[in-house]
Amino acid sequence: MTFIPPETRIAIVTGGARGIGAAIATRLAQDGHDIAVIDLDRDACDATLAAVCATGRRGFAVAANVADEAAVETAVTAVVDALGPPTVLVNNAGILRDRTLAKMSTDDWDSVLSVNLRSAFLMCRAVQPHMRACRWGRIVNLSSIAALGAVGEANYSAAKAGVQGLTRTLAIELGRYGITANAVAPGFVVTDMTRAVAERMGMTMDAMVDEMLKTIHVERPGQPEDIAHAVSYFADPRSSFVTGQVLYVAGAPRG
């Protein structure tokens, strides 16, 4: 018999202060999870916590650099003390340091690999003992269509492709404990991050949207809620026979 967790489930969302992470935290709260948000800036999480609490669920936020091993262990311990053992983990934290290969510094490379890939490994390693103890868990890692290759994003593409390999391996290793591991790979989504990219490129956001729509067959840009809905599916108890998968949420065929 498949173990179904108790009514109160605990989910951790990294990078949950804004954008896609905030939408994921809110959606999982609506699904019946208590939410722990881990982000660099604790105060920046207030809006997300308010949205979580508005659903009637408990919310907790802790500041941590999820690329730092000691900080991750401390943050997960704080979550357990505040809410209980986490059984859902969403690795959403990420940064961009876009440069073409000739202009990319070692720091550009290391920073992006650390925040986008190393952090997912550290968080999964820290949380999996709690999932194994429950004999139930859901890991959802955020990849990207950039995993397929993108000009000026050798670091980001490598990290997001690495996330897919990590996810598939975790699915193999952890499945026997009732833990699934899947990845969501967003396409173009309107967020503060993509607005910052447009600004760096000297474009208006409207101009960037128009350019991206040339390859988006549903003829609209993605919204954070689109990604949150996909994460919700993978986090659901009813998705127990789905693991090691990468779902491209991009408004067009990908992968």
pLDDT tens digits for 136-152?
A: 999 999 999 999 999 99
Tokens of 103: 């202009």
State yes or no: pLDDT of 247 exceeds 80.
yes
Q: Give 1's pLDDT tier (boundaries 50, 70, 90).
A: very low
Structure tokens at 224: 């954070």
* Whole-angstrom distance, CA of residue 89 vs CA of residue 68: 17
Whole-number average pLDDT of the chain: 94
d(CA 80, CA 25) in angstroms, rounded, equals: 17
Q: For residues 86 and 176, what is the distance between their CA atoms, to the nearest angstrom?
A: 18
More confident residue, 227 or 198: 227
Examine the residue annotation and report whether 233 is marked as an active-site residue of this protein: no
Q: Which of 156, 177, 233, 248 is catalytic?
A: 156
pLDDT band at 210 (very low <50, low <70, confident <90, very high): confident
The residue that leads in pLDDT, 136 or 1, is: 136
CA 71, 76, 77, 79 dihedral sign is positive
pTM over 0.85? The answer is yes
Residue type, 108: D
For the chain, what percent of residues have pLDDT higher than 70?
96
